Structures are given as C-alpha cells and as structure tokens.
Homo-oligomer: A and B are copies of this chain.
C-alpha cells in the first residue's frame, strides 16, 4: 500500500486525551493532511469505548493519565472489543512500569509527549505498516528489559539452576536436565538462597528477576 492510497481511504483516527488544548492541537495537526481522518476525540476512556463501534478507528492515540478509567485499562478493553485497533500511547510518563503495562495491555507504540509533530504522523504510518513506533528512550527501555545484569552474584551454574527453577521445574527435573544428582541441585539452591539472602523459591525468583540475574 502506498501513502497515496490513504488519500482515497484516509486512516481513521481517534484521540483520547484529557487536556483539551493538546487534544485539539493533535486533531487540527493531523487533519491538516488528507491522509488522516480524525473521526473522534475524547477526554476519557469511558466515552471512547462507548463509541468505538461507531467510530471504527484504525488507530487510537491514547493518553495514560486520564480522569476515571486509566489508559492501560482503556487499551485492554479497546483491544477486547476490536483486537485490530492499533493503539499508540502518547504520554509524559515514561516510568518503566507504565511502559511495560501499556505494552502488555496491547499498545503497539509508545511516544513521550514531547514528540515533534512530524513524529506523530510518522508513527501513525509506521503502526499501520506493521511497525511499533517508540520514542528513543522507550525503545531503549524495551530492549534493555531483555538484557541481564552483568554483576550477578550467582555463578554460571547457579544461574542455570535458578533459570530452570523459574520454569517451574522440581529439583529432580533440574537434576536430570543438568545430568547431576538431586543433592547437587539442592546444594546449588541453598547457595543461591544464601547469596540472595532469601529463604524460599518465590523470594529467590522475585529478587533474581527484579535484579535481572535471570530473565
């Protein structure tokens, strides 16, 4: 599909943003190009969800901090109504937790609000073309979330054991998989607990994941 095709069938866009100034700004900005058709704008998720089947947006620009239902819930419900809807989060918040919650909820893009106006249009085209538009800092966060902490107190073997424990395997399972005795696995786990200063599987996994000793 070429960009010019959108002149015949402009991309249907809804905006959910409680700040009226920003909302109208985005709306005017996007409507400047005939490739976009801002079909509706809302100040909260409730109204947006109520009209979603009428508006039939292809792309939604969604704020996170909203009166009433927050954007995360809004994304979840919107995706449940129509999984094909592409949601781009546009927010000032770049707190790690929010970013990952939004992506888990179904956001397909995430922009921090200081985006130059050109980026907005680019992002919309990108998500329509199967991409995942993200601000620089967000992309880095997302990629970093895959990477492990290089300053783990755990030895290679211990990390291996803990990784298998994280998959829900029992000591015996792990022993078989690593071709060692169950007693050896037990010793590794005792040492892991000692190093992480914990006294149970759940605590160890929580700490190890938080500190990114395991993925």
On whether the beta carbons of A139 and B150 are closer than 8 Å, the reply is: no
On whether the beta carbons of B143 and A103 are closer than 8 Å, the reply is: yes
Which residues in window 48-74 of A have CB below 8 A to B? Answer: none
List the B residue with the shortest CB-CB distance to A99: B146
A195 proximal to B (CB < 8 A)? no
A140 proximal to B (CB < 8 A)? yes
On whether the beta carbons of B142 and A137 are closer than 8 Å, the reply is: no
Contacts of A204 in B (CB 8 A): 168
Chain A residues touching B, range: 35 or more
Which residues in window 140-183 of A have CB below 8 A to B? Answer: 140, 142-144, 146-148, 150, 165-170, 173
Binary B-proximity of A195-215 (CB < 8 A = 1, otherwise 0): 000001110111000000001
Select one of B136, B173, B205 contacting A202, CB under 8 A: B173
On whether the beta carbons of A131 and B136 are closer than 8 Å, the reply is: yes
Residue from A129, A133, A144, A147 whose CB has the most chain B CB atoms within 10 Å: A147
Contacts of A165 in B (CB 8 A): 168
A120 proximal to B (CB < 8 A)? no
Contacts of A150 in B (CB 8 A): 79-80, 83
On whether the beta carbons of B201 and A103 are closer than 8 Å, the reply is: no
On whether the beta carbons of B147 and A139 are closer than 8 Å, the reply is: no
Binary B-proximity of A77-91 (CB < 8 A = 1, otherwise 0): 001100100000000
Question: Which residues of chain A have a CB within 8 Å of any CB of chain B?
Answer: 79-80, 83, 100, 103-104, 106-109, 126, 129-134, 136-137, 139-140, 142-144, 146-148, 150, 165-170, 173, 200-202, 204-206, 215
Cβ contacts A to B, 9 pairs, < 8 Å: A83-B150, A103-B147, A104-B215, A108-B143, A132-B144, A133-B139, A134-B139, A167-B202, A168-B168
